[in-house]
Amino acid sequence: MIRFNPTNAAAFVPAHAVAQLLPQLELAHRQLLDGSGPGADFRGWIDLPARPDTEELARIREAADYIRREADVLVVVGIGGSYLGARAVIEALQSPFAASQTAAERGGPQIVFAGHQLSGSYHAELLDWLDGKRVCVNVISKSGTTTEPAIAFRILQRYMESRYDEEEVRRRIFVTTDANRGALLDLARARGYARFVVPDDVGGRYSVLTAVGLLPIAVNHDIDALLAGAAAAREAWLHVDDPLTAPPYAYALWRNALLRAGYDTEFLVHYDHQLRWFVEWWKQLYGESEGKDGRGLLPAGVEFTSDLHSMGQFIQDGRRRLIETVIRVNTPCRSLSVPFDEADGDGLNYLAGRDLADINARALEGTTLAHVDGGVPNLQVEIETIDETSLGWLIWFFEFACGLSGYLNAINPFDQPGVEAYKRNMFALLGKAGYEDLAASLQERLGR
Ligand code: PA5
């Protein structure tokens, strides 16, 4: 379950400004449900948890069992929506020290990522590090043509061929892509790799509850509980009587009311190190969905209390156009208490016996009020703990709120036309056929 609390934003926008958005919110809701809004063909994520593809799920579990049995390392190759969801959930559920745990402690193989950038050092180091380990690869690309994962996969496929015979390579590579088209699909068919589907009606950043996220997550974690959490959120919120108090509607309303009042940057704040990659997933979800047509709240992320010693000054005291949305976790998975010390040289005995979870909670409350006093409206999203079920709730909550929020902001939350600009320039500079004219003009601008 999730609770949403806008109390600490109320001083920054009048209640009537929030209420005035209600008719637009109703329209946004209708558009999401009946497909009358832009990008309507990409709303499949709404119902994913309610109508899971049981056959695909069985194949995902079977592949995950194989990987758990036969691999020390799973390399997940993908970029943007094709890796951030899986990474967010895996990093939230595993130990921060998973990299140095044994397979038994971790619950299965180590999961690492590739093809999410073009760093030569990263990929060279990865190949060196893989040596001597039993490796499986899951390459994920809906289009099947994205340059970064395509390059990384070509390198990794060659590496696998240098380590294993043809049959073994075939068993150890898993492909997640479109069911009907794309270079990756052709390659998977030609080589006979096991294939999983990114449904046509689900875009990359909304795809964590398809095979895109579920296969890597299933290797070490419980995907049934993740899906059950998302299904419960959908059941609770797909239709509601009072949008002003129902969490995804209220979140969409408040952030848009604040945007209209001149607040154009939103920090998603967490106090639990495990949620670090969840914030990266959220940044991509909201950034790519809403940042278009010259509009949108800039999504940023901070980890407190660490970043109170870097970004804290700016948030407290810098340019006043920021809002904070805090994820509050009521019961962390584990905790410790501060020991009593006879000498009390550090003066900490006033905290002796106090639990770190309790101290962190007071840091959250104190920081919230300090930032509110500094002029930063604060929204709070509260969850009970960090487990598969609560992450399922959070994922559906943020996705649904993102769809509502995009329509409230009069944009198409399901496309990403802006992502093409860098690709065109990169292809031209790399000498790809068909980009000759663009290449000449770019070379001139680069002074070459
Ligand atoms: O959210 C999105 O649609 C994008 O971030 C894509 O996931 C990303 O560009 C990768 O695309 P693909 O899966 O086609 O390789």
Overall average pLDDT of the 399-412 stretch: 97
pLDDT 10s digits, 372-392: 999 999 999 999 999 999 999
**Cα angle: 48, vertex 49, 51; to 5 degrees:** 65
**Do residue 52 and residue 28 come from a single domain?**
no
Residue 78 structural domain: 46-221
pLDDT at residue 155 above 90? Answer: yes
Domain boundary, last residue among 168, 187, 221 = 221
CA atoms of 390 and 378, how far apart (whole Å): 22
Residue 366 makes CB contacts below 8 A (sequence gap 6+) with none
- Is residue 413 left, alpha or beta, with left meaning phi > 0 and alpha meaning psi from -120 to 50? alpha
What's the CA-to-centroid distance between 79 and ligand 1, angstroms?
Answer: 6
The reply to whether 423 belongs to the active site is yes
Mutate which of 77, 79, 113 for ligand 1? The one with the most ligand atoms within 8 Å of its CB, which is: 79
Both tokens of 288, joined, read 């790519």
pLDDT confidence bin for 245, thresholds 50/70/90: confident
pLDDT confidence bin for 243, thresholds 50/70/90: confident
What's the CA-to-centroid distance between 444 and ligand 1, angstroms?
Answer: 31
Both tokens of 118, joined, read 């073009």
Amino acid at 274: Q
Domain boundary, last residue among 164, 188, 221 = 221
Alpha helix positions (H), 164-222 = 166-172, 183-191, 211-218
Is the Cα dihedral 236, 248, 57, 94 positive or negative?
A: negative
CA dihedral 162, 134, 63, 154 (to 10 degrees): -30
CA atoms of 86 and 213, how far apart (whole Å): 4
Nearest to 259 by CA among 406, 381, 370, 367: 406
pLDDT at residue 101 above 90? Answer: yes
Both tokens of 122, joined, read 């990263």
- Output the ligand 1 site: residues, CB below 6 A: 79-82, 141-143, 146, 149, 203-205, 288, 416, 419
Classify residue 144: in a domain, yes or no: yes
Q: Whose CA is nearest to atom 5 of ligand 1?
A: 80
Is the Cα dihedral 417, 49, 41, 29 positive or negative?
A: negative
**Do residue 141 and residue 178 come from a single domain?**
yes
Q: Whose CA is nearest to atom 9 of ligand 1?
A: 80
Overall average pLDDT of the 213-228 stretch: 98
CA atoms of 203 and 355, how far apart (whole Å): 42
pLDDT 10s digits, 167-207: 999 999 999 999 999 999 999 999 999 999 999 999 999 99
Which ligand 1 atom lies nearest to the CA of residue 206?
A: 1
What's the pLDDT at 220? 97
Which is catalytic among the residues 161, 168, 365, 423? 423
Classify residue 367: in a domain, yes or no: yes
Whole-number average pLDDT of the chain: 97
CA distances from 11 to 3, 17, 19, 348, 375 (A): 20, 12, 15, 36, 9
Helix (H, G, I), strand (E, B) or coil at 257: helix
What's the CA-to-centroid distance between 127 and ligand 1, angstroms?
Answer: 24
**Do residue 288 and residue 387 come from a single domain?**
yes
Is cis: bond before 305, omega within 30 of 0? Answer: yes
**Do residue 206 and residue 107 come from a single domain?**
yes
**Do residue 255 and residue 325 come from a single domain?**
yes
Helix (H, G, I), strand (E, B) or coil at 311: coil
pLDDT at residue 244 above 90? Answer: no
**Do residue 152 and residue 130 come from a single domain?**
yes
What's the pLDDT at 134? 98
Both tokens of 292, joined, read 């278009």
Which ligand 1 atom lies nearest to the CA of residue 140?
A: 13
What's the CA-to-centroid distance between 20 and ligand 1, angstroms?
Answer: 35
Mutate which of 76, 83, 138, 146 for ligand 1? The one with the most ligand atoms within 8 Å of its CB, which is: 146
What's the CA-to-centroid distance between 272 and ligand 1, angstroms?
Answer: 27
**Do residue 184 and residue 283 come from a single domain?**
no
Q: What is the pTM of this model?
A: 0.97
On whether the CB atoms of residues 118 and 146 are closer than 8 A, the answer is no
- DSSP code string of 67-120: HHHH-SEEEEE--GGGTHHHHHHHHHHS-TTGGGS-HHHHTS-EEEEESSS--H
What's the CA-to-centroid distance between 148 and ligand 1, angstroms?
Answer: 11
The reply to whether 221 belongs to the active site is no
Classify residue 54: in a domain, yes or no: yes
Count: domains in the chain: 2
CA atoms of 87 and 138, how far apart (whole Å): 13
Classify residue 424: in a domain, yes or no: no
pLDDT 10s digits, 29-82: 999 999 999 999 999 999 999 988 999 999 999 999 999 999 999 999 999 999
**Do residue 107 and residue 91 come from a single domain?**
yes
Least confident of 50-54, 247-251, 301-305: 50-54
The CATH number covering residue 81 comes to 3.40.50.10490
Domain boundary, last residue among 206, 221, 236 = 221
Q: Whose CA is nearest to atom 12 of ligand 1?
A: 141
Which is catalytic among the residues 309, 342, 420, 444? 309
Overall average pLDDT of the 156-163 stretch: 98
Q: How many of the other CB atoms lie within 10 Å of CB of 222? A: 14
Q: Whose CA is nearest to atom 2 of ligand 1?
A: 204
Burial class from Cβ neighbours inside 10 Å (0-12, 13-18, 19+) for residue 90 reads buried
The reply to whether 288 belongs to the active site is yes
What's the pLDDT at 398? 98
**Do residue 183 and residue 267 come from a single domain?**
no
Mutate which of 138, 143, 154 for ligand 1? The one with the most ligand atoms within 8 Å of its CB, which is: 143
Which ligand 1 atom lies nearest to the CA of residue 285?
A: 1
pLDDT at residue 326 above 90? Answer: yes
Classify residue 434: in a domain, yes or no: no
pLDDT 10s digits, 269-288: 999 999 999 999 999 999 99
Give the percent of the chain with pLDDT over 90.
Answer: 97
Which is catalytic among the residues 288, 290, 303, 324? 288
What's the CA-to-centroid distance between 409 and ligand 1, angstroms?
Answer: 22
What's the pLDDT at 132? 96
pLDDT at residue 98 above 90? Answer: yes
Give the percent of the chain with pLDDT over 70.
Answer: 100
